[in-house]
Structure 1
């Protein structure tokens, strides 16, 4: 039997656990998340006495397992983390679409806002947040000090440290954020946030032919099928 101490550990007042997943190439990540939540419920997840419980999911929600907390109202609000690049905001837009999909089915989860990670100041993530109708909760700069501390499992935002006020404001904004109902963008709307040079929007794609695929000229041969004239 799995006990709390087998999966949950603490450091500097923060409690954390890693659900993990199947071995590479041997299972479904979404199913792993479903199994993980079943385990958390057995460990008394709904009775924990914390002020806040943060669930960190990577990637997209096109897989039903990754959308489980939204689908089953196991969270109050979703915080989207993204950066100023198309692939990141594509995922963020899909998360907003998932929230709206489940809300139409009777769900109560909303989007609290967007955290801009590795912000380089180009502004696409801010434009995305404005377009879908969600607030920006914080902009985390692309700084090597943050990268190194994060990779070393260090707490970055200590009260008396360089990043203390940034993460203090982020925490307060997360607490105060309302579960907003976003308006997801269409594919063209999302591409419109970026310059045509960044997305190849003006590139004309030429349909491939059978000859292209085979590397040789295709010779059309007469059919050997016997066709009978209609009586």
Structure 2
């Protein structure tokens, strides 16, 4: 075989997809995170406001005297953008690759930054079409292990995960018991609640396999008070930790990269209550809804349940009358 022959992209992608994820180093039990450290994974649909919620929550926790680490686990690497006033944070994966190429060792100061008591970092991920985001997450946590993740002394470690993606890397905290509890961020719309329900299903699935992670509750963002998210939480058996209203002042300040979770701010009480509830809420075993149960939270006008599924015919597919051709199969008489 010619060593310089071009690689077939389809074959290359299939080969990558077939690679099993490397196991995450669990670390020495003697230096595992202290029991008083709460590691919390936050999931939600892309664009639902996880980064907004986490930036303000982590800032409020720090103002209350807590030592908080915020880790962005979204390939978009936008978790910390609000916290740092719109500035991009160098990602662990990109920084590690660059320093490895230069023959240098990565240090914590290269990837972890702080503002007003909040420590924050981004795992990062591959460019579009150039790799698996889930494997990027796994690789990022391997690097965190090498940087001494199990030895860090924080009160809270908040992990921001994209809930739309269901591959193994994004389910890592649930599947590997890397966190104690999960929080879902959703709104009063079907798609965000669909994602929240999927996360609850994942938690329940791994609980049946012997896992220990539970759901601490839901944050309702952009709440317009139509009640669907509240109804979902009640049906799934999880508490609502906070309801952040759909308010123009919040939208405008968030768009301008302004933290509103500060003591004395107009919205301070929302994030003060959220901080207290996040800290105290126990992980519970959720009761995921069926697809019909999820749809029943909405009016028929909202989800179109009056639609009937009409089976297609071969004539529909071909645009001509369907002519049944005689089979060439030989059928033998049975004795």
TM-score, normalization: structure 1? 0.93
Maintained 8 Å contact 1:157/1:163: yes
Unaligned 5+ segments in structure 2 are: 1-104
Matched, 1:69 2:173: yes
Superposed, 1:150-169 pairs within 5 Å as 150-169=254-273
Residue 283 (structure 2) aligned to one of 179, 188, 191: 179
Per-residue CA deviation, residues 158-203 of structure 1 (Å, 9 max, x unaligned), is: 1011111110100000001000111111111111111111111121
Secondary structure of the residue that 1:54 maps to in structure 2? strand
The two structures, once aligned, show a CA RMSD in angstroms of 1.8
Residue 118 (structure 1) aligned to one of 222, 244, 250: 222
Residue number in structure 1 paired with 2:247: 143
Superposed, 1:47-126 pairs within 5 Å as 47-60=151-164, 62-126=166-230
Unaligned 5+ segments in structure 1 are: none
TM superposition outliers: structure 1 runs of 4+ over 4 Å: 226-231
Maintained 8 Å contact 2:163/2:199: no
Once residues 165 and 190 of structure 1 are traced to their aligned partners in structure 2, the CA distance between those partners, rounded to angstroms, is 31
More off after superposition, 58-67 vs 203-212: 58-67
Q: Size of the alignment, in residue pairs?
A: 230
Once residues 180 and 52 of structure 1 are traced to their aligned partners in structure 2, the CA distance between those partners, rounded to angstroms, is 19
Once residues 228 and 31 of structure 1 are traced to their aligned partners in structure 2, the CA distance between those partners, rounded to angstroms, is 51
Residue number in structure 2 paired with 1:217: 321
Residue number in structure 1 paired with 2:135: 31
Maintained 8 Å contact 1:29/1:65: yes
Does the C-alpha gap of structure 1 residues 30 and 228 become closer, same or farther in structure 2, counting only changes over 3 Å? closer
Secondary structure of the residue that 1:172 maps to in structure 2? helix
More off after superposition, 74-83 vs 154-163: 154-163
More off after superposition, 120-129 vs 30-39: 30-39
Per the TM alignment, residue 110 of structure 1 is displaced from its structure 2 partner at its CA by 0.6
Per-residue CA deviation, residues 129-164 of structure 1 (Å, 9 max, x unaligned), is: 000100000001112332333344432211011111
Residue number in structure 2 paired with 1:128: 232
